[in-house]
Amino acid sequence: MWGVNKMKKIYLVRHGITDGNLGNQYQLPSTPLAKQGIKDAKLLARRLKSLPIDVIISSHINRASETAKIIANKMNTVIVEDEIFQEIKRPSIVRGKSKNDPETKEIMRAVEANFGNPDWKHSDEENFFLLSERAKKALETILKREEDNILIVTHGAFLRMILGVMIYGDKLTPDIFQGVNHTFATSNTGVSIVEYEKQGWYVKTWNDHAHLGDLE
């Protein structure tokens, strides 16, 4: 599936926390980091500073972009923004709304019930097939790059889809992904380390967030 023999080490980072995370919302692309998110991103940057990162690739969405810039400032590393690493696309109508809003809950119940149905869409959201295809393309994008040590700043649901594709490849199904999605936690600023070697992915560390116990 991958066809690359070069060894790579990839650091997968979820963006810092936002008021949208804290308020249980479906977030807008423009949502910035909360004060706590900025603090946590600085703690993460301090922790990552000594690593030999060649490039940082970030989702273009504000909360990820801000996190990447905080890390890059500490590491003096170049950032490349790429829309392929953005969060799962929810229906535009629910973005910026509380997950407890009755109309929003009704819409999302239908979206989630049909996540694995290729013939159903509410509006402009991604289903399992669109999201998994994007994750495959994201991994191909990583493997085509010349750098050996890459840090990716992205989002929770997309991180879990990347993991599912790494483990199962073309055998990943909607049911299997639901198991991955509900089992593998992704904390804000959590770091996962994966390696690619001999045409295979190896998960070395998942969701390490020990830096959040640090004191400035």
Supply the pLDDT for residue 4: 60
Residues 153-173 pLDDT 10s: 999 999 999 999 999 999 999
What are the b/e assignments for 118-127, b being 16+ CB within 10 Å?
eeeeeeebbb
Residue 216 has pLDDT above 60, yes or no: no
H helices of 89-211, in order, are 102-113, 128-144, 156-168, 174-183
Average pLDDT score, the chain: 95
CATH classification number, 8-213, choose in 3.90.228.20, 3.30.420.10, 3.40.50.1240, 3.50.50.60: 3.40.50.1240
Residue 215 has pLDDT above 50, yes or no: no
Per-residue pLDDT averaged across 16-26, rounded?
Answer: 96
